[in-house]
A and B are shown apart, each in its own frame.
Chain A
Amino acid sequence: MSSHDEDRGADGLSRRKVLECMTWAGTGVLWTVAGGVPTSLGLVGEAMAETAGMTFLQISDSHVGFDKPANPNALGTLEEAISKVKALKAKPSFMIHTGDITHLSKEKEFDDAQQVISQARLDVHYVPGEHDIIDAEPGALYKQRYGQNAKGSGYYSFDQNGVHFIGLVNVANLKGGGLGSLGVDQLAWLEDDLKAKTASTPIVVFAHIPLWTVYEKWGWGTDDSAQALGLLKRFGSVTVLNGHIHQIVQKVEGNVTFHTARSTAFPQPAPGTAPSPGPMKVPDDKLRGMLGVAEVSYRVGNSRLAIIDQPLQS
């Protein structure tokens, strides 16, 4: 520790003490934007009491079955993530899993994932990742478990607390040289699904591969997402939740907030910082800081949903 950390401020608090306090409280601060001005509402639990709304979780890329050096126990870190979910002060309304539930679409991997995730005792809304549809009859196992009430490759929508949620699938029927793909059928369904919604209805769209181009060279984007985003343009609040890249990237564009979540299994390199986007081995004591889940909070009257990323270990 440098002596700089020991310097006392005007109120007698050392810099180190302030940093320690910020680290403890930092993961729980909820921000909202009212009239364009960001305001801190304090810790999540306190904020919940003030305004009507809800909080849900985004969990992603659990890759159950993965056992390589980057994380020999993906099921174990998923279990840690679910323990963290159970320990949250404000119980979330439900979870969204943005895909790559399993690593190789094996029956046992689906079973193990289900067994651990169900420990959270929350409803979970899934969309598949490309690792979930590589069984012998591609997509059959996923559909059996999570796609019974969905259309086509597994897309669907539902409403909760006045928010319209749309699960999209952009990992099916991929073409050589291409990125993620929604396809004409799904886009037609999306247009129809949105028709009756008023522009003031908050929309949350979730899909596995990012719906904007994060890094084309590594396939981190969706070929026809512009059409989907065009259909969403008229809405006052749109939140896009994605996974696939195993790191947090956020972007705000007009009324649309984009967020990709951490994995609960292993991190991947930042765009262009490695020869390929494979699993990234980090020192053991750094791994859990790079894995996690995200809390997403909607407050009636606020156009932007608040997203707080919670690492497995601060």
Chain B
Amino acid sequence: MTASILVRGACAAALLLALAVGLPGAAQAADVSVKIDNFTFGPQRLSVKLGDTVVWTNEDDIPHTVVSISRFRSAALDTGDKFSFTFTKAGTYEYFCGLHPQMQGTIVVEAATGSATK
């Protein structure tokens, strides 16, 4: 009798522990959208979690590209085209449109545990 109570307690404790630190898949990585329109990235500054995927969609009537030097570079995006990038490293990513470099944006990638690196 004592052994099974102990086992149940250990299981309960393990379950609680697992929930506390977040089981893989318990907190789903998200797809976050950035809309490109009127020569603007919207939102211009975006905070996401480590593992999130940002999806840029060009809704403008002119092509754009999404470029972060040494980090990522999209193909030419015509109206309706999308570009996705999954952020596996925390940090701040400055990017711009390769055709119209006055268009700029920032993605801030925060570490998953919730202790954001400011």
CB within 8 Å of B: which residues of A?
A: 68-70, 103-105, 130-131, 134-136, 174-179, 217-219, 275-279
Contacts and interface: CB of A to CB of B under 8 A. Distances in A.
A279 B96 CA distance: 20
B98 to A, nearest CB: 6
B60 to A, nearest CB: 7
A134 B62 CA distance: 13
B54 interface: no
Q: Is the interface of B mostly helix, strand, loop or mixed?
A: loop
A103 B100 CA distance: 14
Contacts of A130: 98-100
Interface of B: 38-40, 60-63, 65, 67, 69, 75-76, 78-79, 94-96, 98-102, 104
Q: Is the interface of A mostly helix, strand, loop or mixed?
A: loop
A104 B78 contact: yes
Contact of B98 (A69, A70, A174, A179): A174
25 contacts: A103-B63, A130-B98, A131-B63, A134-B65, A134-B76, A134-B98, A174-B98, A175-B96, A175-B101, A176-B94, A176-B96, A176-B101, A176-B104, A177-B96, A177-B101, A178-B102, A179-B101, A179-B102, A217-B102, A218-B39, A218-B102, A276-B38, A277-B39, A278-B61, A279-B62
B38 A275 contact: yes
Contact of B102 (A131, A219, A275): A219
Given A104-B76, A278-B38, A278-B39, A134 B63 contact: yes
B39 A276 contact: yes
Contacts of B65: 134
A247 B100 CA distance: 18
Contacts of A217: 102
A179 to B, nearest CB: 8
Most buried by A among B63, B79, B101: B101
B44 to A, nearest CB: 12
A131 B99 contact: yes
Contacts of A68: 61, 79
Contact of B101 (A136, A178, A279): A178
A277 B78 CA distance: 16
Contacts of B40: 276
Nearest to A66: B62
Contacts of B75: 134, 136
